[in-house]
């Protein structure tokens, strides 16, 4: 058994100090004549034949003292004064006074009065990272028993203040014997003050180091005053490393609907060095419960991740008829990351987040979970070949809308693709000029997918599997790019697509009339009645699903020409030093066949009304298929045009006497086409769109507009008459939208007004932890209060031309703020979400609260007025004793009942 650090210090003081005695450091060293005869230093015994005592030390002993070290041969004592210290390897004992009585075999360490008469320099014992302080240490190295008075020690974040501790050394010859410490009048706390704000006080404790602690009756004390909270006994394992143990409840709650309950009580399992499991439960006396299993895993240089599975079952009693109903919801969240060094060609990772019956909105009340309406998942395995430009992937992905509760799952999603390769490129051409055909490139991709679509409550029903969509798509493209006349780029391209499906639709027209009869009675004479017949349908279209293989194909070819045109304007003086306008025009020809051709069988044209034989509707037999249907626009042979405009400015800064470029408009696109193959409406609408950023990215503007060369008829449909021929302009305004998004933070405001670069915070929790470690930092200015606060504003304007009038509307206008306002170093206001929607004139799920730092305690409150929920806590700061709290809250069920 390895000796304890304290025992080794005692051993050193008894055996090492007498044999390595020095004169007191404050005694003058006088010259002394050496009267001893010379000693022959020649070894008479070979070095390897010496016997070393079993009590010998394995390292040097250092024992300085600032004032003096006195050896009392008469009293058989050694006394060390003033910052005395004994060090052996990683073990040290420091005190202003250390005394070794080797006649009575007792060692004593204590403080000593300083020049003002105040006791100082109390014993401090260190063994590696372990440290404790005491008022006095007394040890008998013969009986191997000792007493430590008023000891203060720290294990992890637990600080122990002990009145008196008795130490009994275990028998080193007996492997079952252990060191034992008996303590009395001890206080366990996480408060770092000399006089702690709180603690668990116990009169008797027994500690077996590195094994367990047994505590007698314990009482919670606050500010030195006992409370009514008592524990009859305690049994705590203190073995090093990870271990199984009880997880204390996060909250103690009373609900009018569910009764008394505990939230988050459970057990922790360290299943292996790389894998942990945490089981928790929410339990209420009236039958409501929740279960969750969370696990984290990590293997160095291989992978890491976490998974959480949750189940919630709520029992609700209807007060009107006392009937019982139960709502159940489920959630699974998985995140996995593979280390880039794990494998050179294979990778696996992603995220999964699936829930049923609005699990996160039911279980949690914070704004992030309540306002999240879209859930997505993507877990992918990817294989890349080092010696070939090939990639294969197999994925699971899903999307879920919590508003309409629609769930779409794609599994498996298999993809195989090649990188762009040049089949005609010569090898080993050296410095020879590249020929035009060597620029021809090809690319191939294939995708096979199975899709499940359902609601979150029917996701695991058998009908979901029966209605699954399965298909495969293959794409191959070929293209090239080469220069013409030095400034122009020509890019021909050809593409082919083939799609396979395992089901299709077949529609037929049923001319049967649907007639309903309605009987009208005379209220004065029941025998007098009239029967009226009404036709509610003049035929209907029936749809049948056909199972079996069916495919469709798509072809296209094109040729594009593009170049770049620059225009600049420079100024010698002033703030504005230059303007630059770049135009990127593109003209292209494209062709695609008519997929509405009945011979292809991709579309069906059916009569829809028996009264109008010429009135037909067109349907695709692949409608709703996993890869969609062929285009229904007919034959296309079109001339496409587009202009991309970029505007920049050069501005001069007097601060650093330099010029820099500023983007005025990122991209201003103007595009459209002319279809030569169309019988009518050859010109397409002209689209204009642009994006601009202002105030160093605080505000982003997006503008879209559509102009049409044709006019509309009375029903609002385009007709083959040009606007310019009907008294209008070349283009008729159709619709436009302007969207402005602003996100204001203190960092962005500083970058504008003070010229400082915006601070990018990648880890908010780490930043908050650093602020807690340095709470006394002084705020630089008023804006520093809002360092963790942001305000966002979204507004959208829409213009639509209808019946010779332009209608204007504000479709979106909302402002939101979130973050934390640090009023003082102890007071903070937290805003999970607070906003107002000016269109619907209502708040957007406000969630606000505050936090008060009470040194080793904290007080906080969160309130969600929309749901009527709130939480209030006075608790010990996160750590080993954070289960000590006074919680008070109202859940969303009680909040809903309060509004009734």
- For position 38, what pLDDT does the model report? 47
| CA 410 – CA 235 distance, rounded (Å) | 51
Give the Cα separation of 662 and 647 in Å (integer).
Answer: 9
Sign of the CA dihedral 517, 523, 526, 529? negative
Q: Which contacts of 99-102 are long-range, i.e. CB under 8 A and separated by 24 or more positions?
A: 100/13, 100/14, 100/17, 101/75, 101/76, 101/77, 102/14, 102/18, 102/76, 102/77, 102/78
Residue 451: predicted pLDDT: 93
Percentage of residues in the chain with pLDDT exceeding 90? 35
Question: 428-443: per-residue pLDDT in tens?
Answer: 665 677 788 888 999 9
| DSSP H stretches of helix in 411-474 | 462-466
Predicted pLDDT at 626: 92
Place of tokens 């877990």: 379
What's the pLDDT at 770? 55
pLDDT: which is higher, 115 or 493: 493
pLDDT band at 276 (very low <50, low <70, confident <90, very high): very high
**Which of left, alpha, beta for 117 (phi over 0: left; psi -120 to 50: alpha)?**
left
Mean of the pLDDT values across residues 150-168? 80
> Cβ-count burial of 840 within 10 angstroms (0-12 exposed, 13-18 middle, 19+ buried)?
exposed
- Compute φ and ψ for 625, nearest 5 degrees: -70, 165
pLDDT of residue 676 exceeding 80:
yes
Predicted confidence at residue 132, as pLDDT, reads 75
Sign of CA dihedral 584, 589, 592, 594: positive
CA 155/CA 130 separation, integer angstroms: 8
pLDDT bin (cut points 50, 70, 90) of residue 716 is confident
Q: Which of 298-302, 525-529, 588-592 has the lowest mean pLDDT?
A: 525-529
**pLDDT for res 35:** 43
Per-residue pLDDT tens digits for 61-113: 677 888 888 888 888 888 889 888 888 777 788 899 988 887 888 888 999 88
Q: What is the pLDDT of residue 753?
A: 63
- Indicate whether 422 pLDDT > 80: yes
> In this model, does residue 58 exceed pLDDT 70?
no
Average pLDDT of the residues in 632-643: 90
What does the alpha-carbon distance between residue 60 and residue 499 come to, in Å, rounded to a whole number? 81
Residue 349 has pLDDT above 70, yes or no: yes
Question: Is residue 522 scored above 80 in pLDDT?
Answer: no
* Predicted confidence band of residue 9 (pLDDT cuts 50, 70, 90): very low
Residues 6 or more apart from 341 whose CB is under 8 A from it? 301
165 close to 148: Cβ distance less than 8 angstroms: yes
pLDDT at 811: 92
Among 121-125, 356-360, 408-412, 752-756, the minimum mean pLDDT is found in 752-756
Q: Exposed (0-12), middle (13-18) or buried (19+): which is 40, by Cβ within 10 Å?
A: exposed
DSSP string computed for 612-673:
-TT-EEEEETTTT-TT-----S--EEEEEEEEEEEEEEEEEETTTTEEEEEEEEEEEEEEEE
Lowest mean pLDDT among 94-108, 208-222, 554-568, 847-861: 208-222
Alpha helices in 668-782 (DSSP H): 746-753, 764-773
Question: How far is Cα 105 from Cα 553, in angstroms, rounded to an integer?
Answer: 99
- Write the burial class of residue 128 (CB in 10 Å: 0-12 exposed, 13-18 middle, 19+ buried): exposed
The answer to whether 734 touches 685, Cβ cutoff 8 Å, is: yes
Best-predicted range by mean pLDDT among 27-36, 55-64, 742-751? 742-751
Q: Is the pLDDT of residue 380 over 90?
A: yes
Q: What is the mean pLDDT of residues 654-666?
A: 81
Whole-angstrom CA distances from 490 to 351, 479, 482, 588 are 42, 10, 6, 9
Pairwise CA distance, residues 823 & 851, whole Å: 10
Dist CA 443 CA 899 (whole Å): 62
**In this structure, are residues 256 and 273 in contact, taking their beta carbons and an 8 Å threshold?**
no
Mean per-residue pLDDT for 681-696? 90
In 3-state terms, what secondary structure has residue 598?
coil
Q: Is the pLDDT of residue 630 over 70?
A: yes
Query: What is the pLDDT averaged over residues 232-252?
Result: 74
Residue 176 has pLDDT above 60, yes or no: no
At 576, list the tokens: 């504005």
Tell which wins on pLDDT, 42 or 75. 75
pLDDT value, residue 10 = 40
Report, as an integer, the average pLDDT of 49-58.
54
Residue percentage of the chain with pLDDT more than 70: 86
Which pLDDT band holds residue 900 (cuts at 50, 70, 90)? low
**Does residue 449 register a pLDDT over 70?**
yes
DSSP structural state of residue 248: -
**pLDDT greater than 90 at residue 302:** yes
The mean of the pLDDT values for the chain is 83
204 CB burial (10 A radius; 0-12, 13-18, 19+)? middle
> Is residue 498 predicted with pLDDT exceeding 90?
yes
Report the range of poorest mean pLDDT among 228-232, 573-577, 629-633, 747-751: 747-751
* pLDDT class of 30 with cuts at 50, 70, 90: very low
The whole-number pLDDT of residue 672 equals: 95
More confident site: 117 or 281: 281
Q: Which two tokens stand for residue 773?
A: 């470690």
Q: Which of 347, 329, 351, 328 has its CA nearest to residue 338?
A: 347
At residue 273, does pLDDT exceed 80?
yes
- Per-residue pLDDT for 34 more than 50? no
pLDDT confidence tier of residue 886, bands split at 50, 70 and 90? confident
CA distance 267 to 259: 23
Is 139 a residue whose pLDDT tops 60?
A: yes
190-194, 278-282, 788-792: which has the highest mean pLDDT? 278-282
Check residues 334 and 176 and name the one with the higher pLDDT. 334
Distance CA 776, CA 774 (A): 6
In tens, the pLDDT along 719-733 reads 999 999 988 889 999
Q: What are the φ/ψ torsions at residue 436 (nearest 5 degrees)?
A: -60, -35
For residue 43, pLDDT over 50 is answered with no
Q: What does the alpha-carbon distance between residue 180 and residue 177 come to, in Å, rounded to a whole number?
A: 9
pLDDT > 60? residue 749: yes
What are the two backbone dihedrals, phi and then psi, of residue 70, each rounded to the nearest 5 degrees?
-115, 130
Q: Given a cut of 70, is residue 800 above it in pLDDT?
A: yes
Question: Is residue 124 within 8 Å of 133, Cβ to Cβ?
Answer: yes
**pLDDT of amino acid 24:** 37
Task: Give the pLDDT of residue 774.
Answer: 55
């Amino acid at each position: 058994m390895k000796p304890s650090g304290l025992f080794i210090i005692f051993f050193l003081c008894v055996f090492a100090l007498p044999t390595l005695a020095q004169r007191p450091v404050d005694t003058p060293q006088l010259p002394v004549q050496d009267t001893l005869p010379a000693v022959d230093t020649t070894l008479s015994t070979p070095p390897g034949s010496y016997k070393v005592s079993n009590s010998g030390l394995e390292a040097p002993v250092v024992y300085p003292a600032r004032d003096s070290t006195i050896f009392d041969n008469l009293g058989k004592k050694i006394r060390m004064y003033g910052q005395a210290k004994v060090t052996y390897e990683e073990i040290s004992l420091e005190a202003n006074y250390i005394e070794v009585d080797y006649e009575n075999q007792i060692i004593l360490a204590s403080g000593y009065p300083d020049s003002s008469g105040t006791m100082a320099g109390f014993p401090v014992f260190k063994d590696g990272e372990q440290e404790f302080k005491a008022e006095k240490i007394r040890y008998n190295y013969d009986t191997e028993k000792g007493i430590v008075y008023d000891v203060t020690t720290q294990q992890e974040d637990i600080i122990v203040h002990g009145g008196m501790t008795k130490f009994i050394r275990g028998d080193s010859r007996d492997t079952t014997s252990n060191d034992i410490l008996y303590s009395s009048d001890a206080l366990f706390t996480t408060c770092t003050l000399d006089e702690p704000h709180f603690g668990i006080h116990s009169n008797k404790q027994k500690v077996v180091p590195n094994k367990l602690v047994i505590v007698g009756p314990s009482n919670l004390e606050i500010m030195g005053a006992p409370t009514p909270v008592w524990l009859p006994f305690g049994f705590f394992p203190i073995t090093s490393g990870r271990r199984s143990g009880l997880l204390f409840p996060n909250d103690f709650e009373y609900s009018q609907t569910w009764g008394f309950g505990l939230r988050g009580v459970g057990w922790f399992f360290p299943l292996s060095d790389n894998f942990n499991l945490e089981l928790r439960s929410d339990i209420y006396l009236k039958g409501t419960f929740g279960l969750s299993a969370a696990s984290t895993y990590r293997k160095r240089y291989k992978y890491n991740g976490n998974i959480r599975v949750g189940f919630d079952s709520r029992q609700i009693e209807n007060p009107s008829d006392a009937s019982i109903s139960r709502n159940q919801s489920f959630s699974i969240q998985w995140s996995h990351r593979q280390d880039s060094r794990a494998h050179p060609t294979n990778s696996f990772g992603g995220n999964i987040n699936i829930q049923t019956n609005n699990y996160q909105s039911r279980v949690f009340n914070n704004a992030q979970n309540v306002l999240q309406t879209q859930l997505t998942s993507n877990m992918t395995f990817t294989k890349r070949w080092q010696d070939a430009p090939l990639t294969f992937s197999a994925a699971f992905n899903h999307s879920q809308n919590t508003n309409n509760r629609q769930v779409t799952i794609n599994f498996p999603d298999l993809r195989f693709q090649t990188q762009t390769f040049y089949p005609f490129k010569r090898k080993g051409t050296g410095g020879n000029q590249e020929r035009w055909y060597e620029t021809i490139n090809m690319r191939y991709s294939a995708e096979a997918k199975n899709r499940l679509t359902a609601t979150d409550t029917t996701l695991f029903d058998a009908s979901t599997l029966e209605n699954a969509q399965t298909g495969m798509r293959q794409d191959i493209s070929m293209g090239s790019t080469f220069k013409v006349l030095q400034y122009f780029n020509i890019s021909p391209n050809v593409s082919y697509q083939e799609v396979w499906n395992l089901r299709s639709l077949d529609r037929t027209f049923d001319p049967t009339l649907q007639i309903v009869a309605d009987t009208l009675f005379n209220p004065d004479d029941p025998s007098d009645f009239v029967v009226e017949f009404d036709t509610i349908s003049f035929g209907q279209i029936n749809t049948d699903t056909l199972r079996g293989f069916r495919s469709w194909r798509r072809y296209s070819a094109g040729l594009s020409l593009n170049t770049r045109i620059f225009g600049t304007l420079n100024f010698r003086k002033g703030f504005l030093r230059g303007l630059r306008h770049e135009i990127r025009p593109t003209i292209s020809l494209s062709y695609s066949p008519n997929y509405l051709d009945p011979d292809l069988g991709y579309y069906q044209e059916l009569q829809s009304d028996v009264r109008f034989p010429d009135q037909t509707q067109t349907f695709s037999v692949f409608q709703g298929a996993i890869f969609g249907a062929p285009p229904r626009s007919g034959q296309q042979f079109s001339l496409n045009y587009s202009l991309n405009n970029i505007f920049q400015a050069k501005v001069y800064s007097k601060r650093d006497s330099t010029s820099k470029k500023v983007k005025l408009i990122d991209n201003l696109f103007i595009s459209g086409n002319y279809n030569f193959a169309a019988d009518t409406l050859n010109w397409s609408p002209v689209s204009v769109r642009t994006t601009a950023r202002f105030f160093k990215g605080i505000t982003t503007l997006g503008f879209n507009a559509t102009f049409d060369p044709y006019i509309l008829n009375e029903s609002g449909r385009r007709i083959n008459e040009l606007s310019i021929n009907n008294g209008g302009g070349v283009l008729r305004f159709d619709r436009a939208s302007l969207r402005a998004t602003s996100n204001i933070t203190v960092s962005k405001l500083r970058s504008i007004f003070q010229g400082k670069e915006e601070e990018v915070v990648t880890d908010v929790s780490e930043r908050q932890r650093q602020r807690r470690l340095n709470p006394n930092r002084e705020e630089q200015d008023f804006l520093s209060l809002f360092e963790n606060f942001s305000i966002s504003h979204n507004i959208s304007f829409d213009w639509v031309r209808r019946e010779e009038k332009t209608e204007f509307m504000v479709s979106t206008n909302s402002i939101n703020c979130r973050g934390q306002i640090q009023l003082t170093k102890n007071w903070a206001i937290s805003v999970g979400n607070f906003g107002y929607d000016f269109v619907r004139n209502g708040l957007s799920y406000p969630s606000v609260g505050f936090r008060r730092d009470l040194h080793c305690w904290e007080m906080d409150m969160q309130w969600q007025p929309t749901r009527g929920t709130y939480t209030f806590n006075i608790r010990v700061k996160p750590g080993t004793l954070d289960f000590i709290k006074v919680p008070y809250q109202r859940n969303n069920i009680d909040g809903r009942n309060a509004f009734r």
